Amino acid sequence: MCSHSRAAQAAGTLSLVVTLLATGCYTSAQGGGSAFSSVRFTLDSHGDIQVLGASRTAVSPAGSHAVTGGRAYPFERPAGRLLVVLRHRPEERVSRGAVRRSPPPEEASVETGFLVDTGGWALAELDGHPLQWLRRDTIRVDTTKGAAGERVRLTLSGPHGGRSGQPVAPPVQRGCEGGDRAVNRRVVLPEAVPGTAVAELLARLRERCLDVQYASLPGGARRGTVRRVEVPLAARMSPTAVIPPLDGVPVPGRLPGDRVLTDPSRPTTVVVAR
């Protein structure tokens, strides 16, 4: 078992990479030429990350970076690798007897990245529930909504032969290629009700060229299905369209079918019930 400790996080990105490499927990390729089997990332909301599984040697660190306003850090993903991005809160630095305070705005969140050499398709599961098949792609998980002490599990596993839900490449959205993250974009808000299948909602979001991150929370829908979706908007007063709304009260201009101006620098969050 290998762990990204909170102490390593507090020391900064360089110390994180050095610590992981020095322990021998991560290498840049799958050892021994064996096929990718499975690897599991477990983490809490403050970035205590552990990497487990038969294929953990296929994982290498990609660094940790502070992000603000819900924006995504632009990690580089080498060809043939799968990029895992785990969003969490920064480590609270509190001396003995000091009053606990919220972290400063410029450290609102931290994104820690890992590169995984899967060698082909891999099924991503969040807390035991399937999300999507991935190959040469990026998957993001946001734990900042979780309560203290809660741990989230992201598992990547190979096809293992004739497994149900065999990987199928998603249709290429030609209109999404080469989009500028600095340019806001108008989209039509998708329909999303509690209990919607993750794959169904993901297809709707792909059609709208929206980048996705996942979060896992208890209750609100059948386990493994969509609880809600949060679409980032280019508006200071109301920066997110939540579907369905948290308090159950519809917000004019923020309903499925409404055309809104989105902020492409911030991923859309798909909240999955666990």
CA-to-CA distance for 74 and 184, rounded, in angstroms? 17
Tens of pLDDT along the chain (274 residues)?
555 544 344 444 334 443 443 333 433 334 445 789 999 999 988 889 999 999 999 999 999 999 998 899 999 999 999 999 999 998 754 334 443 344 444 448 999 999 999 988 999 999 999 999 998 899 999 999 888 788 999 999 987 544 555 566 565 566 676 667 778 999 999 999 999 999 999 999 999 999 999 999 999 999 999 999 999 999 877 789 999 998 888 889 999 999 999 999 999 999 999 9
Paired tokens of 231: 């679409």
Give phi and psi for 6, each to the nearest 5.
-65, -30
Tokens 């891999």, residue located: 122
pTM > 0.85: no
DSSP state of 121: -
What count of other Cβ atoms lies within 10 Å of the Cβ of residue 79?
Answer: 5
Please report the DSSP string for 32-68 in residue order.
GGPPP-EEEEEEETT--EEEESTTGGGEEEEEEEEE-
For the chain, the distance separating the N- and C-terminal CA atoms, rounded to the nearest angstrom, is 25
